[in-house]
Chain A
Amino acid sequence: MREPPLSNCEKSFLLKAIQEGKRLDGRETYDYRNVKISFGTDYGCCIVELGKTRVLGQVSCELVPPKINRPTEGIIFFNLELSPMASPAFELGRQSELLVKLNRLLERCLRNSKCIDTESLCVIAGEKVWQVRVDLHLLNHEGNIIDAASIAAIVALSHFRRHDVSIQGNEVTVYTPEEREPVPLSIHHMPICVSFAFFQQGTYLLVDPSEREERVLDGLLVIAMNKHREICTIQSSGGIMLLKEQVLRCSKIAGVKVTEITELIQKALENDKNVRKEGGKCGFVESMPKQWITAFKVEKALVDMSDVEEKAEEILSRAETPAEMASKPVLWAPGTAQIGEGLESSWRDMEEEGEVEDEDDEGGIDDPTLAVSQNIDMEDIPRKQEKNSDDVIILSDSEEDEVIILEPEESRKNTRSKHYAVPSAKKATGGKKKKKKFTL
């Protein structure tokens, strides 16, 4: 589906509002939208909502052989997917520029900044390391995908617990969560991306652009920082020209925002940890807002099963008995048998298509070697033998000239010799099939 284009008047309205310092949702220039983090029951699963932009993150891990040039390091793999539900413009299977850009930015932000200790993911150097896979799905696109995705990625990684392993010599034992407590990943720092949108050739700046604002922007600057004020990645995109002062100012703003967001993340992680420790219920069911009218929850419901047996029996007794199935195969000759009668071929009456009919039979014999169609083939063979003795065979396949064979017996021999390959193949396959049948 194509995204409906932005009208000129809407565009000029947005730009004019930005010139006056106003935003459509009432925020200030440097304000972020509300960040809401909820966790699922499995470790490593979280949903992050930045305003209305929603991203689902899931971390999983498995043991794999390491990369050849880095035998002592684990592998981290990021994958961000723009789900077709997020926006009508996102279609399945098309690797658009936006997707490449976002994925590369995420990789650089999280992998190159070494926020996860990959050395700790090594189990046996050169043979087995943990491969940690972070899958991010964008569920709703209301602007600023990269910020929401980076928050989801780092929260999911912090929440994740991998299986505990023990090494005895060359033997690796992976413990399930029931045997031993799963181990969290060692995370050095939490890089968070902050997006700055520039309008009117860099004159106006907005933090955390919404979807409408993203459509009218001239350029975007993404700065990823952690709470120690270390810049992990800077990326400018779009066709704007920046000045050094602008970049420095943005980095200062980013520092402030990142501290706020990191605090929020820590609080959410703490909350979840406490709830799990106390054994309380956790997961998306619990974090659903109960007071909203669009959300509804019902406790465990018992289903009345008393008359199920009677009902089932009643249905069965009312059902007609299926037609009598052909039971025993009729043995014609060693290696050929017939089960059932089969249907009368409706093409027998039509003379021109007599040959086609024969070819059909033969076609039917040549192809299948499945056990299922064996029975049908067995049936076809005696029928064909019957037919050969009955029909007048017309050899010509053109419908124009009528070639009438004067001596049917010879013609039969002709057809037999013409298709000499088939009877022997028939016998061979019949033989093979016979063997197959017995082993069944």
Chain B
Amino acid sequence: MDRDCCLRVFACEQNLLSRPDGSASFLQGDTSVLAGIYGPAEVKVSKEIFDKATLEVILKPKIGLPAVQEKNQEQIIRNTCEAVVLATLHPRTSITIVLQVVSDAGSLLACCLNAACMGLLDAGLPMKSLFCGVTCALDSERGIILDPTDKQEKESRALLTFAIDSLEKKVLMITSRGSYSIEELQQCIATSQKAADKLFQFYRDSVSRKYSKS
């Protein structure tokens, strides 16, 4: 099967905002998401949890007010982050992740996940492992397309987004739209794990560059 398996140009800038504790801007092709992290910080008494940190994700779209779609994505990202962040180290505090969509040209949720992870790294919050987001689109003729653009997403028959962790390449989160077979699902997972390798290498390179002295 002829597959289009290359990831678009990706770029990341860390610590670009002065007010948040950690910030990162992640660009995948033309899709760009800016993440700002505040935490561990003061939490409202109504929201505090006695033994863990309260994790809150806010996703802001570029045009219009946030709707149900954004709330759904916020929940997905929150579940992924909660699985990874060591919240028990900071009880009765709040960790707020604010994501702003700067431009959307396909695979937005994966870009949000990547930006959130880099932001958490920049803020120095303790995590069990890193995570990354990869999107696969299943097309009628061409099989699996990694990191689809807007046009490819619209024409696909199924779109799957995975969050993959860095320790054992396990799947932290799957969300999908459309119908696909079990074999295709497993193939997509395997493909995403391969792509995740590249992404984690990118994380490592950018962080080592940030802390390099030369």
Tell me the A39-57 residues at the B interface (CB within 8 Å). 40-42, 45, 47, 52, 54, 56
| Interchain CB contact (< 8 A) of A92 among B25, B34, B58, B103 | B58
Name the residue on B nearest A296 (C-beta): B206
Q: Tell me if B187 and A309 are in contact (CB < 8 A).
A: yes
Asked if B11 and A297 make an inter-chain contact with CB atoms under 8 angstroms apart, the answer reads yes
Kindly list chain A residues whose C-beta atoms are within 8 Å of the C-beta of B14: 294-295
A2 to chain B: closest residue by CB: B42
**Majority secondary structure, B binding face:** mixed
- B6 interface hit (Cβ, 8 Å): yes
B7 within 8 A of A: yes
Q: Report chain B residues within 8 Å CB of A41.
A: 30, 103, 105
A-B contact count (CB 8 A): 165
State how many angstroms separate the Cβ of A236 from the closest Cβ of chain B: 27
- Given A1-B38, A60-B63, A298-B202: A305 touches B3 (CB 8 Å cut-off): yes
Cβ-defined contact, A40 with B10, below 8 A:
no
Complexed CA–CA distance, A1 and B210 (Å): 29
Q: A299 contacts B36, CB within 8 Å?
A: no
Does A350 have its Cβ within 8 Å of any Cβ on chain B? no
Judge if A292 is at the interface, Cβ distance under 8 Å.
Answer: yes
Q: With the chains together, A60 CA to B61 CA distance in Å?
A: 13
Are A47 and B191 CB-contacts (below 8 A) given A58-B63, A142-B18, A298-B202?
no
How many residues of A are counted as interface, with CB atoms below 8 angstroms from the partner's CB atoms? Answer: 53
Contact, CB under 8 Å: A283 / B19:
no
Complex: A41 Cα to B105 Cα, angstroms = 10
Beta-carbon contact of B23 and A295 below 8 Å: no
| Residue B32 at the chain A interface, CB threshold 8 Å | yes
Contact in complex: B194, A305 (CB < 8 Å): yes
Contacts of A142 in B (CB 8 A): 18-19
Minimum Cβ distance to chain A for residue B163 (Å): 17
Q: Does A326 contact B (CB under 8 A)?
A: no
CB distance from B58 to the nearest CB of A (A): 6
B183 within 8 Å of A by Cβ?
Answer: yes
A133 within 8 A of B: yes
Task: Report if B190 contacts A (CB, 8 A).
Answer: yes
- Cβ of B10 and Cβ of A293 under 8 Å apart? no
Q: Which residues 176-205 in B have Cβ within 8 Å of A in the complex? A: 182-183, 186-187, 189-191, 194-195, 198, 202, 205
Query: Is the beta-carbon distance between A140 and B146 smaller than 8 angstroms?
Result: no
Contact B210 A293 (CB under 8 A): yes
Q: Please tell me if the beta carbons of B11 and A303 are within 8 angstroms of each other in the complex.
A: no
Given that A85-B98, A135-B64, A316-B186 are known contacts, is A285 also in contact with B11, CB under 8 Å in the complex? yes
Bound form: Cα–Cα A295–B191 in Å? 27
Distance to closest chain A CB from B174 (angstroms): 14
Given contacts A297-B9, A315-B186, contact A288 B27 (CB under 8 A): yes
Asked if A137 contacts B100 (CB within 8 A), the reply is yes
- In the complex, A301 has a CB within 8 A of chain B: yes
Give chain A residues whose Cβ lies under 8 Å from the Cβ of B198: 301, 303
With A84-B96, A139-B36 known to touch, is A296 a contact of B19 (CB < 8 Å)?
no
User: When A and B form their complex, which 6 residue pairs have the shortest distance between CB atoms, in order from nearest?
Assistant: A85-B36, A296-B206, A85-B98, A297-B11, A312-B186, A312-B187
13 CB contacts below 8 A, A to B, read A54-B17, A56-B34, A85-B100, A141-B19, A284-B25, A285-B32, A294-B13, A294-B16, A296-B202, A296-B206, A296-B209, A312-B186, A312-B190
Other than A83-B98, A137-B62, A294-B210, give 8 A-B pairs with Cβ distance below 8 A.
Answer: A52-B18, A142-B19, A285-B9, A285-B32, A292-B13, A296-B13, A296-B202, A305-B191
